[in-house]
Amino acid sequence: MTSEPQQFASDNYSGICPEAWAAMEEANHGHAPAYGDDLWTARASDAFRTLFETDCEVFFAFNGTAANSLALASLCQSYHSVICSDAAHVETDECGAPEFFSNGSKLLVAPSEGGKLTPEAIRAVATARSDIHFPKARVVTVTQPTETGQVYELDELRAISAVCRELGLNLHMDGARFANACASLGCSPADMTWRAGVDVLCFGGTKNGMAAGEAILFFNRKLAEDFDYRCKQAGQLASKMRFLSAPWVGMLESGAWLRNAGHGNACARRLQQQIAGLPGLEVMFPVQANAVFVRMVEQRMAALRDRGWRFYTFIGGGARFMFAWDAEPQRVDQLAADLRQIASVAATFIQPRA
């Protein structure tokens, strides 16, 4: 089967990176105990503990929706609430799974600039009501990097966790692209999580170059009580667990997790640099991870689609481009060239929308 030209509509259009694939293949020799009682799962868990420089509890789930939902459910009771940004994946793209798996814990949405929560916004939501008729705030969830490709600086995370501690809130991090944030800031995973006050992290493997799988890391081990039962009940306990854990060994021990992310980030910057300042195109958010969002009139988007490009517009109405571990720089340049052409040609006859 011939493959189609690369698209940048989503980072999960990509395939499996060689390091993850090799570990899967190595795991595919002979038999091993089921349900996580195998050596690959122990080794992957230890690789996380080494990378994060702490003795955290580690669990594996099939995807990010389950990881986020089960993690959040473990941080609160059904009568509690979870504060998130208005652009958060848990709010906009998980079909109510966090509420479902927590038996009704309500998401409280805070207004945000491109998906970034602030201590002030958290405080305002958490303290707006304290009466018995409203679900009690118990958790804050941040997405690192945000759905718009922005990265929280360490100082910003520390300020958020300080408010959380003051108000008695647990702090969860949706790290579906956690590696991209680490590559962007060049800081250690420990500094970005438990040293900054994060209690639980969902670390995304799928968008980082695996076939499937997310890891849930509890830095506050008390919060992990009975989490294994929660995963099983939710249908997230893999019987052949080694095929969910082995790729993590490949990713973490080889350093591919960070290389892959660094490459995606570099491709995003490569596109941004080539289209910056073009007439009629606006890069909507600071490019700090592997995403570039471009605002343009509908006719230009149609012209871009005519040239064969696929992209989504569900965040903020602009065209979203996401770069994965395998993004081809020449293909990025082709996209930039098409955008340049569309900007120059169309500007002469496309009327701005009234």
Q: Could you tell me where the DSSP H helices lie in the chain?
A: 18-27, 39-52, 64-74, 89-92, 97-101, 119-127, 154-167, 178-185, 189-192, 227-233, 242-254, 256-275, 298-306, 329-349
Min CB(314)–ligand PLP separation in Å: 12
Closer residue to ligand PLP, CB minimum distance, 64 or 197:
64
Q: Which of residues 136-155 bind ligand PLP (CB under 6 A)?
A: 143, 147
Min CB(69)–ligand PLP separation in Å: 9
Closer residue to ligand PLP, CB minimum distance, 64 or 262:
64
174: contact with ligand PLP by CB under 6 A: yes
Distance between CA atoms of residues 346 and 49, nearest Å: 53
Min CB(207)–ligand PLP separation in Å: 6
Residues 6+ apart with CB under 8 A from 148: 87, 114, 115, 284, 285, 291, 293, 315, 316
Q: Which of residues 256-295 bind ligand PLP (CB under 6 A)?
A: none
Do 5 and 331 meet the contact criterion of CB atoms below 8 Å apart? yes
Q: Which of residues 51-90 bind ligand PLP (CB under 6 A)?
A: 63-65, 68, 89
Closer residue to ligand PLP, CB minimum distance, 303 or 322:
322
Do 342 and 311 meet the contact criterion of CB atoms below 8 Å apart? no
Type of residue found at 28:
N
Query: Which helix (DSSP H) or strand (DSSP E) does residue 173 occupy?
Result: strand 170-175
String marking each residue 27-56 x if it binds ligand PLP according to CB under 6 A: ------------------------------
* Pairing, β 214-218 against β 291-295: unpaired
318: contact with ligand PLP by CB under 6 A: no
Min CB(13)–ligand PLP separation in Å: 12
String marking each residue 178-207 x if it binds ligand PLP according to CB under 6 A: ----------------------------xx
Closer residue to ligand PLP, CB minimum distance, 14 or 143:
143
Q: For the chain, what's the residue count? A: 354
User: Locate tokens 């790290």: which residue?
Assistant: 175
Q: How many residues bind ligand PLP (CB under 6 A)?
A: 11
Give the DSSP letter string of 201-256. Answer: EEEE-TTTT-SS-EEEEESSGGGGTTHHHHHHHTT---TTTHHHHHHHHHHHHHTH
Q: Which of residues 196-255 bind ligand PLP (CB under 6 A)?
A: 206-207
Min CB(168)–ligand PLP separation in Å: 25
172: contact with ligand PLP by CB under 6 A: no
Min CB(345)–ligand PLP separation in Å: 33
Min CB(267)–ligand PLP separation in Å: 17
Q: Which of residues 90-129 bind ligand PLP (CB under 6 A)?
A: none
Closer residue to ligand PLP, CB minimum distance, 38 or 99:
99
Do 197 and 164 meet the contact criterion of CB atoms below 8 Å apart? yes
Closer residue to ligand PLP, CB minimum distance, 14 or 68:
68
Min CB(99)–ligand PLP separation in Å: 15
The burial of 336, by beta-carbon neighbours within 10 Å (0-12 exposed, 13-18 middle, 19 or more buried), is given as: middle
Closer residue to ligand PLP, CB minimum distance, 7 or 63:
63
CA distances from 265 to 140, 234, 262, 317 (A): 27, 34, 5, 22
Closest CA to 115 of 286, 338, 294, 326: 286
The residue of the chain with the least Cβ separation from ligand PLP equals: 64
Closer residue to ligand PLP, CB minimum distance, 143 or 193:
143
Min CB(252)–ligand PLP separation in Å: 19
Do 217 and 193 meet the contact criterion of CB atoms below 8 Å apart? yes
Closest CA to 98 of 140, 65, 146, 63: 65
User: Locate tokens 């009771």: which residue?
Assistant: 77
Interacting residues with ligand PLP (CB under 6 A): 63-65, 68, 89, 143, 147, 174, 176, 206-207
